[in-house]
Structure 1
Amino acid sequence: MAVNSAPEKVISQSIAPRTCIILSAFVVFVISCFCIATIEKGTVAVASSSSMSSEAPAPQQYQAGLHSIVYVTTPNENSAKTLARLLVERKLAACVNIIAGLTSIYEWEGKINEDHEQLLMIKTRSARVDELSKFVRENHPYSVAEVISVPIENGNPPYLDWLSKTVSEG
């Protein structure tokens, strides 16, 4: 048995590096053949080689600012989850991320405060920000709720398309 096991070790040791190199080359070949990334004017379009022809439609350009991210702070996890769920249920937001462990330092009524808060990162249509802001003010535990928004300039086209389908224009 010792005679049979030694050659197996030698064979496996000599084949393994070659197999890895061949496998790596194959993966690079497959990726380069089937995925072509085109970068145009700040957008990325990905197409498979089977869908690339002179008849293939051009990727749609994203209209910068069509969507926004709205930031809202809340005093605790319960109020964050309640508000997030209400926004999604009412189709004012496609998605709300709750970011815990936030520390806010701010001046309020002449006094410097430091509080632990939750941050809501809300994805919506820019056309719905005013309606969303009004909803937050009416359902937020703070007398003056933080509601600020920034437009989305660009992003993953399938995600932005999903966002558009999830939140209507109003």
Structure 2
Amino acid sequence: MANDIVIAQTTSDDENQAKALARGAVESKLAAGVHIDAPITAFYWWKGKVEAAQEWRISYMTTTDRLPALEAWLHQKHPYDIPQWVTLPVTGGSEAYLSWVVEETAQD
């Protein structure tokens, strides 16, 4: 079952936007749960120069089946031109937790 679960991540430079992206994904059953990390400092190249920003990392717990819909939803809702979007495979975990992720993201 672990192979069916992924953690997908993005960032936002606005805490309220991060919360909206988290809540919306859970309400839409695209993610079973979402964690928002405390502000982090990001350094990155943008339009030919190094930028720095305070951001909130948003981690979505979802299934491989729901991942394409979550990604499409995120790109529609996210204000960035190119939002970070990475996925991390879950290679293990408690069966109860992994089952919960599958149950909570099941399409009605």
* TM-score relative to the length of structure 1: 0.61
Runs of at least 4 residues off by over 2 Å: none
Identity among equivalent positions (%) equals 33
1:66 equivalenced with 2:4 (yes/no): yes
1:117 equivalenced with 2:63 (yes/no): no
Residues 97-148 of structure 1 show CA distances to partners (whole Å, capped at 9, x for unaligned) of: 0102211111011110110000001100012111111111100111111111
Asked if the contact 1:126–1:151 (Cα under 8 Å) also holds between the matched residues in 2, the reply is no
Structure number with the higher helix fraction is: 1
Query: What do you get for the CA RMSD once the two structures are aligned?
Result: 1.3
For 1:100, the equivalent position in structure 2 comes to 38
Rounded Cα–Cα distance in structure 1 between residues aligned with 2:61 and 2:33: 6
Rounded Cα–Cα distance in structure 2 between residues aligned with 1:104 and 1:96: 20
Structure number with the higher strand fraction is: 2
Shift of 1:169: 6.1
For 1:142, the equivalent position in structure 2 comes to 80
For 1:87, the equivalent position in structure 2 comes to 25
AA matched with 1:121: S
Q: Which runs of 5+ in 1 are unaligned?
A: 1-62
Q: Which has the larger radius of gyration?
A: 1
